[in-house]
Chain A
Amino acid sequence: MRFFLSSIFVILIGCTPYPKKMGYDQSTSTSVEVTNPYFSNVDHDYVYKASILVFDKQFGGILIIKKIAENNHRVVFTTEFGNTIFDFSFEGDGFKVNRILKEMDRKLLLNILEKDFRSLIKEHIPSIDTFKNGNKSLVKTQNRAKKYFYLFESDTLTQIAHIANQKEKVVIKFSKISNNIVDYIQITHNNIKLQIRLTAI
């Protein structure tokens, strides 16, 4: 009986909507869209020292993000020596692999990278719902049937979470932010052992 009750409890908790689980209440004021301002300046070269932890292995490199024009970004990953590992173009909803190291040319990996970087750079996202908790607000959005929650703390975007089954599947955390430049970004996958850490250089 006790097992049955605790199972019911686990199921109920599991079904609780993500905002509620995180302590947020529905807000009456709903914004039309959210804006991610961090990769929006065409005059700025966004260059990061990257550290990628995949399963129990770690490797590094340089991640370069550049806004070429409106809705058009290049994302390039190189070794410290400068050799290109991958080079992607994001134009509107389009995704183009300009170059990728043969060993990394796997559909599964490309899908993950495309989703992660698209979430990272997408500037204007239509919102569905807004939730509040003190000076924090959580804005629900949807992209290709996938739900993303944008967390704003005192109007500063600090996190983007991809939520599936009311659980955080992928979390992008922004910290050390000034003048719309993020000095530290952490992308954590909770369903696979993958974490990307980016430190501005």
Chain B
Amino acid sequence: MNKFLVITLLFIEAVTAQTKMTSAEAQVLRTMVKEKAAVTKTILSDFTQYKHLDFLSNDIESNGKLAFQAPDKVLWQYSAPFSYSILFKNEKLYINDNGNKSDLNVGSNKLFKQLNQLITASINGDMFISDEFEIDYFKTDDSSIVHFTPKDTQFSEFIKTFHISFSKTGEVTRVKMIEPSNDYTLIIFHNRIENKAIPDAVFSQ
């Protein structure tokens, strides 16, 4: 291989690489996330979702808003290119599919619940549950990335691994769900607002 190419590749690798955290660094991250969660009562955020399938020409992009209220109310509201919302409240799941309301989503309730638990847990700070996930900690220049690989075989058939990225101040900035086929869904959060009172009506369906 061309020497120049090797050097270039090594350089790119060095700039973009995730390096493994030491156990002390992982402990610092866990503590920071936990402390942040303890004082975060609500979160409002916009999100952009990219569904990547290798055979497609383009990723499928959708947008929406997320509302969270401690301890366990979460509303995902897609607004484009379709109207769809899913609300997790009191251990229940409510769907509003463009005006059609239901509380059932065949086959995926368990997955949604587990996914939601994970998202909620990342806000609560108690997501580092080592009996449910293999957990690996990485860092880049401006973020921490934690890989959660489900130990539950039924769950791992659906999602091979989750990558959750945290900002330097411990906020979840992106979630990547990788399927066994290596196709993935990437959700990027932006315009995050913390601890602003959210009217109860937002979580009613």
B33 located at the interface, meaning its Cβ lies under 8 Å from any Cβ of chain A in the complex? no
A29 to chain B, nearest CB (A): 38
Residues of chain B in range 75-89 having any CB-CB distance to chain A below 8 Å: 76, 78, 81-82, 84, 86
0/1 interface trace, chain A 27-67, chain B, CB 8 Å (1 if under): 00000000000000001110101010000011110101010
Asked whether B108 lies within 8 Å of A66 as measured between CB atoms, the reply is no
Which of B98-106, B130-138, B142-150 is the interface stretch?
B98-106
Q: Decide yes or no whether B51 CB sits under 8 A from chain A.
A: yes
Q: Given A81-B112, A84-B179, is A103 in contact with B106 using a C-beta cutoff of 8 Å?
A: yes
What class of interface size applies to chain A in its complex with B?
A: 20 to 34
Tell me which residues across on chain A come within 8 A of B9, comparing CB atoms: none
Decide: B100 and A64 in contact? CB cutoff 8 A: no
Would you call B115 and A81 a contact (CB within 8 A)? yes
Interface string of B15-57 (1 = CB under 8 A from A): 0000000000000000000000000000000000101010111
In the complex, per-residue mask of A159-201: 1 if CB is within 8 Å of any chain B CB, else 0: 0000000000000000000000000000000000000000101
- Looking at A7-15, A71-79, A148-156, the stretch in contact with chain B turns out to be A71-79
Partner of B100 from the list A58, A66, A76 (CB cut-off 8 Å) is A58
Which among A47, A51, A83, A104 is the interface contact of B159 at CB below 8 angstroms?
A83
Question: Known: A57-B104, A102-B154, A103-B106. Is A80-B86 also a contact (CB below 8 A)?
Answer: yes
Q: Which of A47, A57, A68, A201 contacts B55 (CB 8 A)?
A: A68
Q: How far is the CA of A80 from the CA of B115 in the complex (A)?
A: 13
Is A83's CB under 8 angstroms from B177's CB? Answer: yes
* B57 adjacent to A43 (CB under 8 Å): yes
- Asked whether, in the complex, the Cβ of B106 is within 8 Å of the Cβ of A57, the reply is yes
What residue of chain A has the Cβ atom nearest to residue B108's Cβ?
A79
Establish whether residues B102 and A82, one from each chain, have CB atoms under 8 Å apart when the complex forms: no
Does B105 lie within 8 Å of A79, measured CB to CB? yes
Q: How far is the CB of B62 from chain A (nearest CB, A)?
A: 8
Contacts of B49 in A (CB 8 A): 81-82
Q: A85 near B108 (CB under 8 angstroms)?
A: yes
Interchain residue pairs A-B with the least CB separation, the first 3 = A82-B185, A82-B51, A201-B81
Chain B residues positioned under 8 Å from A83 (CB to CB)? 108, 111, 158-159, 177, 179, 185
Checking A59, A66, A99, A104 against B56 with a beta-carbon cut-off of 8 angstroms, the contacting residue is A66
**With known contacts A81-B185, A83-B185, A66–B55 Cβ distance under 8 A:** yes
Q: Which of chain B's residues have a CB closer than 8 A to the CB of A87?
A: 181
**A/B interface sample: 30 pairs, CB < 8 A:** A43-B57, A45-B56, A45-B57, A45-B58, A47-B60, A51-B97, A57-B102, A57-B104, A57-B106, A58-B100, A59-B104, A59-B106, A60-B95, A60-B100, A62-B60, A64-B53, A64-B60, A66-B55, A74-B55, A76-B53, A79-B105, A80-B62, A80-B86, A81-B112, A82-B51, A82-B184, A84-B181, A98-B181, A101-B107, A103-B106
